[in-house]
A and B are shown apart, each in its own frame.
Chain A
């Protein structure tokens, strides 16, 4: 479905991603592992069209999407749940969710989709009329995920969904992700908490200094001595 070939990208004159190649096929759960500043977020931003590649190719179903703007990527069925939640703070939770279904294809089905999504998030349902900015961190993350799902994407990308959350909430977030995966949505996930994501990942990529240093089935990477040493501290 999604393929990056020799992607080079960065900010202005700075190149962060030197050479990133990876692929995500329909129905897979793919994860990107890497230390702080390795370029994980940058990779997701390039896929979304938020930054333009300096070189290499990004293709979706064989079509080059390197030059497309973010709304066009959303129209192709690719949605990112950004790092740090990034809600619309002075709008209600309901308005945030409706914006998740802004693209024309999703707009027609907002009421049904809202119902489907809210069954996964009972806590969010209780907060529908509250301003998003006044929610707790865990609630905000739930809204951010629910908002992303409102677009009914084929590929849902998570950037650090468990960042800054209490262990109990982290568990809930991973349960939600498992549900998303079980529903057949393809998932590309970036997570510090690599034990859980590598266990469920069809394939993982280890990103170091803007390059893919290693890749393989998730559970296999989890047993790899280098991964263990560098990312699990054992």
Chain B
């Protein structure tokens, strides 16, 4: 088997994982104009929740995916209503303190409750390799995560384009002054958007749990990449985030092999800087165009 094709396959699948985590962050940033620094910690909570459901109650992680996404929707909406909403008109610095504070509290809470040990969900089926047209070999769990990511991002993009609620969400991003004049409850849209962003994380956690263990700081492991993806994609463009995620996935995979595993982050930050020099607004960025 050609190693290049294998690396590309790994990269694309990894990109799918990044996409699933990044779209929620992109959506929240694009619509609510708040950077959710607790996004990674929400993923961490999701991974622990999946682990608890699986290890203690014997529920298969994939079965937990939809209920977890729904539960996280309400968690996200609640977080917006209780903590972010009172700060919507405050200085952006204060919003940053708030979301960083939520993240830190969640990470330390997890450390207290679960200790620093790794908690893995063992799904033997997901660990097995499967053959991709005789060209590459990838784990089934990775394929599932990629497929779920594809369905979720496509569904979200269609939802935003085709439904009344989706249009209202975009309307709030494009003109906050005019949206209420259409009868749109802007604060409700903020809560729903936060909910959808968190729901994506809940979904991601369930399909990633068979691949990645839960530990208190697992959030920061993913979220840095997610921030790179959001900026690369154009701050709020979902399509841009998906393309950005695939680029980062491919770069990680290829650079990890051809350059050096320890240097792969250096390579993708260089590409990141290069793209931003050529296109300061990101790949798909037009201010307010989401």
Q: A88-B171, A90-B289 are in contact. Are A70 and B164 (CB under 8 A)?
A: no
For A91, what are the chain B residues with a Cβ–Cβ distance below 8 Å? 167, 170-171, 174
Any A CB within 8 A of the CB of B221: no
Q: Return the contact of B185 from the options A71, A99, A151 (Cβ within 8 A).
A: A71
Q: Determine if B178 and A70 form an interchain contact, defined as CB atoms under 8 angstroms apart.
A: no
Q: A89-B288, A90-B286, A102-B168 are in contact. Are A71 and B183 (CB under 8 A)?
A: yes
Q: For the complex, what is the distance from the CA of A166 to the CA of B289, rounded to whole Å?
A: 29
Q: For the complex, what is the distance from the CA of A95 to the CA of B180, rounded to whole Å?
A: 16
Q: Determine if B174 and A90 form an interchain contact, defined as CB atoms under 8 angstroms apart.
A: yes
Q: Determine if B286 and A99 form an interchain contact, defined as CB atoms under 8 angstroms apart.
A: no
The chain A residue sitting closest to B181, CB to CB, is A80
Q: Range of interface residues on chain A?
A: 20 to 34
Q: Determine if A102 and B182 form an interchain contact, defined as CB atoms under 8 angstroms apart.
A: yes
For A107, what are the chain B residues with a Cβ–Cβ distance below 8 Å? 164
CB distance from B19 to the nearest CB of A (A): 22
Q: Determine if A102 and B177 form an interchain contact, defined as CB atoms under 8 angstroms apart.
A: no
Any B CB within 8 A of the CB of A87: yes
Any B CB within 8 A of the CB of A53: no
Digit string of A55-99 for contact with B (CB within 8 Å is 1, else 0)? Answer: 000000000000001110011000110100011111100010011
| Residues in chain B within 8 A of chain A (CB atoms) | 164, 167-168, 170-171, 174-175, 177-178, 180-185, 286, 288-290
| Residues in chain A within 8 A of chain B (CB atoms) | 48-50, 69-71, 74-75, 79-80, 82, 86-91, 95, 98-100, 102-103, 107, 147, 151
12 contacts between A and B (CB under 8 A): A48-B180, A69-B180, A74-B181, A80-B181, A90-B170, A90-B290, A91-B170, A99-B167, A99-B171, A99-B184, A107-B164, A151-B183
